[in-house]
Chain A
Amino acid sequence: MPEIRSGSATDAPRADGPEVPPPLLEVRGVTKTFGGGRRRLTALDGVDLRLGKGETLGLVGESGCGKSTLARVLLGLERPDAGTVRFDGTDPFALRGKDLLAWRRRVQMVFQDPFASLNARMSAADLISEPWRTHRDVVPGAKAREKRVRELLSLVGLRDGDAHRYPDEFSGGQRQRIGIARALALDPDLIVCDEPVSALDLSVQAQVLNVLSELRERLGVAYVFISHDLSVVRYISDRVTVMYLGKVIEHGETEDVFDRPQHPYTAALMSAAPVLDASYAGGDREIQLKGEIPSPFDIPSGCRFRTRCPRAEDLCAAEAPPLVVRRAREASDPHTALCHFPLEAESAWA
Chain B
Amino acid sequence: MTTTAVPAAPSADTPALDVEGLCVDLSTPSGRLRAVDGVSFSVRRGRTLALLGESGCGKSMTALSVVGLLDPAAEVTGGAVRVRGSDTLRMSPAERRKLAGPVLSIVFQDALTALNPVQPVGRQIGEPFRIHRGLSRREAREKAIELMTRVGIPEPRERARSYPHQFSGGMRQRLLIAMAVALDPDVLIADEPTTALDVTVQAQIMRLLRDLQDEREMAVVLITHDLAVVAQRADDVVVMYAGTVVEEGPVREVFSRPRHPYTRGLLDSVPEHAVRGRPLPAVPGSPPELSAVPSGCVFQDRCPLVRERCVRERPPLRASGDGRSAACHFSEELARA
Contact = CB atoms under 8 A, between A and B. Distances in A.
A278 B199 CA distance: 18
A272 B198 CA distance: 10
Interface string B256-300: 100000100111011111101101111110110000000000000
Given A213-B279, A276-B231, A206 B255 contact: no
Contacts, number: 127
A176 to B, nearest CB: 11
Contact of B199 (A172, A209, A235, A273): A273
A-side binding surface: helix, strand, loop or mixed?
A: helix
Given A201-B55, A276-B270, A278-B251, A206 B227 contact: no
A348 B200 CA distance: 18
B269 A274 contact: no
Contacts of B169: 63
Given A201-B55, A210-B280, A234-B271, A174 B252 contact: no
A202 B55 CA distance: 9
Given A231-B271, A231-B272, A235-B274, A276 B255 contact: yes
A202 B272 contact: no
A200 B272 CA distance: 17
B-side binding surface: helix, strand, loop or mixed?
A: helix
A268 B201 CA distance: 11
Interface in A239-279: 254, 268-269, 272-279
B203 interface: yes
A272 B199 contact: yes
Interface residues of A, number: 44
A173 interface: yes
Given A62-B199, A231-B270, A173 B286 contact: yes
B207 A203 contact: no
Tier of interface size on chain B: 35 or more
B168 interface: yes
Interface of B: 54-55, 168-171, 198-204, 206-207, 225-229, 231-233, 251-252, 255-256, 262, 265-267, 269-274, 276-277, 279-284, 286-287, 302
Interface of A: 62-63, 171-174, 201-207, 209-210, 213-214, 228-232, 234-236, 254, 268-269, 272-280, 282-283, 286, 288-289, 292-293
29 contacts: A63-B169, A171-B286, A201-B225, A202-B266, A202-B270, A203-B54, A203-B262, A204-B283, A204-B286, A207-B284, A209-B280, A210-B279, A210-B280, A228-B199, A231-B228, A231-B270, A231-B272, A234-B271, A273-B199, A274-B202, A274-B203, A276-B227, A276-B228, A276-B270, A278-B231, A279-B252, A280-B231, A288-B203, A293-B168
